[in-house]
Amino acid sequence: MDFVFFSKLLPLFLYPLGLACLLLAVSLLLWWWKLSRWFPLPVVVALALLWLAGNEGVSNLLVTSLEWQYINSPDTIPPAEAIVILGGGVKPPVYPRFMPDLAESGDRVIYGAQLYHLKKAPLIVVTGGRIPWKEGGSQYLSEADDMANLLQMLNIPQQVILKEGKSLNTYQNAIYTREILQKRGIFRIILVTSALHMPRAVKIFEKQGFEVLPAPTDYLVTIQDLSPERHTWQNLMVGFFPDAEYFYKTSLALKEYIGILIYKLQGYL
């Protein structure tokens, strides 16, 4: 039982779905104990929580509060000594996959390749391992290896790719990346990760002594989603009711806020 395990387990009870389930369990206990006066309260709170989490406005507010902190375009990113691409966007080649698949956050790999082709840095570091109990990490290549293979398919020379395949979370990404780059005297990096994850990632890498140039990608909310032209009565009515897509985005945003809190308590930020 280590920090990585508990950091994955405990937040599940703070996300909307897990918290709602806990509240419903409390309600059942109140009913079992014949405390009928209090029985409805946890149910009402659970339903309100699920409704808010699946609401478009609430979801967009939470997501943009994180994603829009480091908006920039490839042209505005100054040159650096290395591009660091964080893992989390590549699925291993497990049957029936015969090659690594890009997950939704796999935009990180594509964007990192684009920045290299724009000559933003001469090296690329891919960082990420596999959690054994979660992904069968001992049976497959590390995520860093999979990312390196995908980068070569995107015409990135093998000799410019440095692999860090031991890390299991963002903090370890920064620690092990520093070990690799410090030997080369490299501290100015372009950091590529999902926009939602960028605020936490920037602080972690800066804490390890890096000069960080953020290069966010994989945006979940765009200006089109917030456009007044979408404020028709049809969209407002549809957006009023909970939706699985917004529920998912809300959960991701809360995951980041919880991660920021946990990392602050651990002294990682």
The Cα–Cα gap between 264 and 256 comes to 12
Which range of 73-77, 80-84, 264-268 scores highest in mean pLDDT? It is 80-84
- Min mean pLDDT across 25-34, 101-110, 134-143, 163-172 is at 134-143
Predicted confidence band of residue 36 (pLDDT cuts 50, 70, 90): confident
Same domain, 191 and 260: no
Q: Which of 140, 109, 139, 104 is nearest to 126 (CA)?
A: 109
Q: Is the pLDDT of residue 83 over 60?
A: yes
Q: Domain of 201?
A: 74-217
Task: Verify that 90 and 20 share a domain, yes or no.
Answer: no
Same domain, 18 and 125: no
Percent of the chain topping pLDDT 70: 95
Domain contains 227: no
Q: Check pLDDT > 80 for residue 73.
A: yes
Comparing 78-87, 119-128, 214-223, 233-242, which segment has the lowest mean pLDDT? 233-242
Instruction: Confirm whether 43 is domain-assigned.
Output: yes
Which backbone phi and psi does 208 adopt, to 5 degrees?
-90, 10
pLDDT at residue 138, as a whole number: 60
Q: Supply the DSSP symbol for 37.
A: T
Contact 64, 256 (CB under 8 A): no
- Give yes or no for residue 1 having a pLDDT over 50: no
Q: What average pLDDT does the segment 168-178 reach?
A: 96
Q: Which residues contact 239 (CB under 8 A, 6 or more apart)?
A: 55, 56, 57
Give me the pLDDT at residue 38, please: 77
CA distance to 21, 28, 48, 82, 125, per residue, from 35 (Å) = 19, 10, 21, 62, 58
List the single range of 110-119, 223-232, 251-260 with lowest mean pLDDT. Answer: 223-232
- Which tokens in the block code for residue 121? 């840095």
- Residue 234, pLDDT above cutoff 90: no
Residue % of the chain over a pLDDT of 90: 70
Per-residue tokens: 175: 């620690």
More confident residue, 53 or 229: 53
Q: Are residues 46 and 102 in the same domain?
A: no
Q: For the chain, give the mean pLDDT.
A: 91
As a whole number, mean pLDDT of residues 36-61 equals: 91
93 and 180 part of one domain:
yes
Considering the domain boundaries, does residue 183 fall inside one?
A: yes
Tell me the sheet residues that pair with 217.
194
**Do 187 and 83 have their domain in common?**
yes
Q: Are residues 195 and 94 in the same domain?
A: yes
**Helices 244-266 & 40-53 angle (0-180, nearest 10):** 100
Does residue 241 carry a pLDDT above 70?
A: yes
pLDDT per residue over 103-154, tens digit each?
Answer: 889 999 999 999 999 999 999 999 999 877 666 556 678 999 999 999 999 9
**108 and 133 fall within a common domain:** yes
Q: Provide the number of structural domains found in the chain.
A: 2
Length of the chain: 269
Mean pLDDT over 240-250 rounds to 92
Whether residue 226 is contained in a domain is answered as no
pLDDT at 77: 97
- Pick 173 or 229 by higher pLDDT: 173
Which residues pair with residue 163 across a beta bridge? 126
Q: What is the pLDDT of residue 233?
A: 81
What are the backbone dihedrals phi and psi of residue 217, each rounded to the nearest 5 degrees, phi first? -150, -175
Query: Considering the domain boundaries, does residue 224 fall inside one?
Result: no
Which CATH number characterizes residue 102's domain? 3.40.50.620
Mean pLDDT of 73-88: 96
**Domain-embedded: residue 229:** no
| Cis? peptide before 242, omega within 30° of 0 | no
The token duo for 69 is: 């902190």
Shared domain for 111 and 195, answered yes or no, is yes
Q: Are residues 97 and 27 in the same domain?
A: no
On whether both 99 and 176 belong to a single domain, the answer is: yes
